[in-house]
Amino acid sequence: MDITDSTKSLITHVQSLKSHYDDLASLTFIDFYCQCREGCDYLFAQKMKQSVRVFDILMWFFQCLEAGSKITIIELMWRDVIGPTLEEYQQDRRTEKQLEQLFTSTELKQSVLGWDRQPRGDGGVNLILRNLLQDIENIEAQHPPKNEE
């Protein structure tokens, strides 16, 4: 199954969040989220794709991080051997390889442990994870999946 136009649009908008987040956990999750959205197009039927939410993808992210590798559902979703152009396939492989390496990194694990809040100069805190998830949910609401099977 090709990546749908609505998924491509969603991914473009989610990738734009990288300009607002500079921590390793957020940048890694944004790439992971986008790869999972593409994988959902490849692996799942329309109704199943529509049932996958940002929280589900967050849980898969944590499971991969804890396992130090891709969990089975991610392995299956990232086997998108049909549909993408050679250039898209090669870019996906580069992103997936980078994510696989990061799942074993101590640096990512440390970044995730501080993902809930970041101290500000004024004594307050930024709620990084909460803000990122809210931003993604807002983008999902603006770019809902269409029945493109």
The closest of 24, 25, 48 to 37, measured between CA atoms, is 48
19 lies in a domain? yes
Give the predicted TM-score (pTM) of the model: 0.90
Is 149 inside a domain boundary?
no
Is residue 33 assigned to a domain? yes
The total of structural domains in the chain comes to 1
Mutual angle of helices 54-67 and 24-43, in 10-degree steps: 110
What is the residue range of 11's domain?
5-142
Residue 148 lies in a domain: no
Let me know if residue 147 belongs to a domain. no
Reading the chain (149 residues) residue by residue, the pLDDT tens digits are 578 889 999 999 999 999 999 999 999 999 999 999 999 988 888 888 889 999 999 999 999 999 999 999 999 988 765 556 777 778 888 999 999 999 999 999 999 999 988 888 898 888 999 999 999 999 999 988 776 65
Residue 18: inside a domain, yes or no? Answer: yes
Amino acid at 55: F
Question: Is 70 part of any domain?
Answer: yes
Q: Which amino acid is at 5?
A: D
